[in-house]
Structure 1
Amino acid sequence: MSRRKIRNAIRLGASYIVLILLCIAAVYPVLWVVFGSLRPGKSLYSKTLIPEKFTFEHYQELFTSQTYLFGTWYLNTLKIAVCSMILGVLLTLLTSYALSRFRFRGRKTALSGLLVLGMFPGFMSMIAIYLLLREMQLLDTHLALIIVYAAGAPLGGTFIAKGFLDTIPRSLDEAARIDGASNFLIFRRIILPLSKPMLTYMALTQFVGPWVDFIFARLVLRTKENWTLAVGMWDMVSSNQNSNFTLFAAGAVLIALPITILFMFLQRLLVDGLTSGASKG
């Protein structure tokens, strides 16, 4: 065996070892939380990964307990995530369509502005947004979260969506315009059907953000009935008197379940949308 083959075999073996270690590091904590949610008692610690006895009492307690309004928090988070996803995708798609298809004065300035604004972390604007929401009397409302999440969507998704729209031939627009189609009709009949992979990517990313967000939701929402899942789950284990970590694990599994299902069923469209949008700037 030549030195090149030996070197390639060593490199391939090392790559597999690294990948296996990374998979173990990613999967083992997930399995621990899943099995912990099925373990009797309140402690996640156990001598074995798989519990000796399985129970679903923690899942039942989440929806029957008067102390934890898990069902209400779940519906609140679902409403906020879905509404912000719809508005955010619409705003991002309209912004990227205008920047991709039209040539107007200030276009390059708008692109540069979006790029610069996207570089700043959201923490820098939290105080200003909080003051604005207080003046508008929108504190402790779900509408405040929906507006902020949806308005921030174009900052993160416009360039990727624009890159995808740039790959759609302009000849389709020109042919439709010759037949008398308006810009809105071209957008609805041509651009949208061809943008399903990009729509899937934007919808998933815009859904996941509000679904798991804690900091801004904790800043805006005050009453327990209006909390989201992240805020409610934090309150579940933040006090010294409460150490029911198996109940927390059950809630974490239920939070991850819809995101996992969406990614599993929409994986192909998600990859196509991400790679197509990144292929052209």
Structure 2
Amino acid sequence: MGQKQKNFIRLFFSYLILVIIAICCIYPALWVVISSFRPGSSLFSEDFIPKIWTMDHYRELFNNSTFTYAVWYWNTLKIATITMILSTLLSTISMYALSRFRFKGRKNLLSMILVLGMFPGFMSLIPLYILLMQFELLNTHLALIIVYSFGSVLMNGFVIKGFFDTIPRSLDESARIDGATHLQVFTNIMLPLGKPILIYVALTTFTGAWVDFIFARLVLTSRDRWTLAVGMYDLVNSYQNSNFTLFAAGAVLIAVPITLLFVFLQKFLVQGLTAGASKG
């Protein structure tokens, strides 16, 4: 067998595997979208493509008096947006200091952040619940914002620090010689150069807060304070009241903001993924 035939076979199976993976990823999403336009409330259907298409499920999401989908949507959007801004700000400032400054205890602090980031978030659910109860923050959106924002620093910190470490220190030194302050160096040099990694961190933080269910379910008890993940779970939690086509319509609307963000910021997302892989 010649080298060209080997390359052709290797390329053929590579594309075949990619096609299979793409089908496995696209089919569930396509099934949910189509189900949202299917009449009735059943999960099962004999036809993949419905014979009759309807928008009733989307109307029912906002007109049904038994649940408040619009309120859940606003709650989730508010929590995810504030978390994204606060988390990105905290992560950027703290990791800039750890990347550019040298002070006593710096290595110990980095080691502590690294070790804490290794533990799964489930281990902190009970301590966080007790702390929030002591501070009377249970059943509030502020509790979610605080936990999401400060918790994401552990996950995104080393990604930002790795990117900042790749920026030559000569840029900082030149600016300092010209009379720039540390704040000016940070805002005029580090932030513009770090835009790809900051967008990547902002997107991942927004997505994490947008889809989180476990912690939101633990903290929020009032129906009017629920997020989308908790409210949508409640729609199909009961076997008597399960409405899977309505759930599919809600899931499609949930995916819209994240999809738009990833489509319009895809270039910066790829740059952030590759640039943040460097360690310093």
Query: What TM-score bracket applies, with the shorter chain setting the length?
Result: over 0.9
Matches of 2:273 and 2:7 in 1, distance apart? 31
Q: Residue 112 of structure 1: CA displacement?
A: 1.1
Q: Spell out the pairing of 1:253-264 with structure 2 (5 A cutoff).
A: 253-264=252-263
- Matched with 1:180 is 179
Q: Please give the alpha-carbon distance, in whole angstroms, between the structure 1 residues aligned to 2:240 and 2:129.
A: 31
CA distance in 2 between partners of 1:231 and 1:280 (Å): 37
- Residue of structure 2 equivalent to 1:232: 231
Whether 1:12 and 2:11 are equivalent positions in the alignment is yes
What's the CA shift for 1:180? 1.7
Q: How many percent identity over aligned positions?
A: 62
For 1:89, the equivalent position in structure 2 comes to: 88
Give SS of 2:276's match. Answer: helix
CA deviations 1:7-61 (Å, max 9, x no partner) are 2221111111111111111001111000000011101322222211111110010
> Alignment partner of 2:54: what SS?
coil
Secondary structure in 2 matching 1:117: helix
How does 1:18-167 map onto structure 2 within 5 Å? 18-167=17-166
1:120 maps to amino acid = F
Count of aligned pairs: 280
Q: 2:268 aligns to what?
A: 269
Cα RMSD (Å):
1.0
| 8 Å contact kept, 1:91–1:153 | no
Give the counterpart letter for 2:140 in structure 1: T
Show the counterpart of 1:241.
240
Query: What CA distance in whole angstroms lies between the structure 1 residues aligned with 2:142 and 2:53?
Result: 40
Q: Deviations over 1:96-122 (max 9, x none)?
A: 101110111111111111111111000
Q: State the alpha-carbon separation in 1 of the partners of residues 128 and 34 from structure 2.
A: 40
TM value normalised by structure 1: 0.97
Q: Deviations over 1:92-149 (max 9, x none)?
A: 1012101110111111111111111111000001100000000000000000000000
Residues 11-20 or 201-210, more deviating = 11-20
Instruction: Tell me how far 1:240 sits from its aligned partner.
Output: 2.1
Paired with 1:184 and 1:19, the residues of 2 have a C-alpha distance of 47
Deviates further, 96-105 or 217-226: 96-105
- Show structure 1 runs of 5+ residues with no match: none
- Measure the CA separation in 2 of the matches of 1:215 and 1:49: 32
Structure 2 Cα separation of the partners of residues 253 and 66 of structure 1: 21
